[in-house]
Amino acid sequence: MVKVVAMGLIFRRRPTYLEVLLQQRLVKNKEYDPLYHRTAEIVGETLEVNDNGWPKETLLEAAIRGVREECGKPDFKPLAVYGAGMQKMIAETHWTGRGDEYFACEPFCFIQSMGPPQPWLGPVFVFEVEPTFEPDHTQSDGEAGCAGWWLPEILAETIHQTPKQFMGLHVPALKKFADMVVAKKFS
């Protein structure tokens, strides 16, 4: 069964540069994920569903919940959420009056795992946070630790040289973001 995962790439602004937050993935169940224990990752959270398989939250809500749980920040609210092309994202809920409801947004990118360890897929949202934002893993769910801030130039080069140190599902979003910042397509 495919697992829908909403991901959040977190960055903060400094006076003359941007920093990207990466944390160390701590896999509790090695059967679930035998590949990526102790790799660098962004935030990722499986979409919560009810007993009938219907979502209990939007994908954006799941990504924000992921930051709250993994970073130990229960009151987390991003300064801004960016989507494709790095414009501030607009998310809307629609319905036709027939008891239906649809969530529409344009995430930064969409990623699908094409092999092991799990059939994951889902959107990536880019969250801008306060310059003072720091995870508190003593208050988190224990799925991540050892957070650190990376300069996009160093991140792009490290992904190119040693991709195995990163959680595979998150690499495309990290590379895209770092490349956009380095190319000055987002500042």
Residue ranges and CATH numbers for the domains of the chain are 3-182 (3.90.79.10)
Is the pLDDT at 155 greater than 80? The verdict is: yes
Q: What pLDDT sits at residue 118?
A: 92
> Which helix H or strand E contains 6, and what residues bound it?
strand 3-13
- Burial (CB < 10 A; 0-12, 13-18, 19+), residue 96, is exposed
**pLDDT at 85 > cutoff 80:** no
Q: What is the pLDDT of residue 99?
A: 86
pLDDT at 168: 95
Give the DSSP H/E element, type plus range, for residue 68. Answer: helix 59-70
Backbone angles phi, psi at 103, to 5 degrees: -105, 130
- Give the pLDDT score at 84: 83
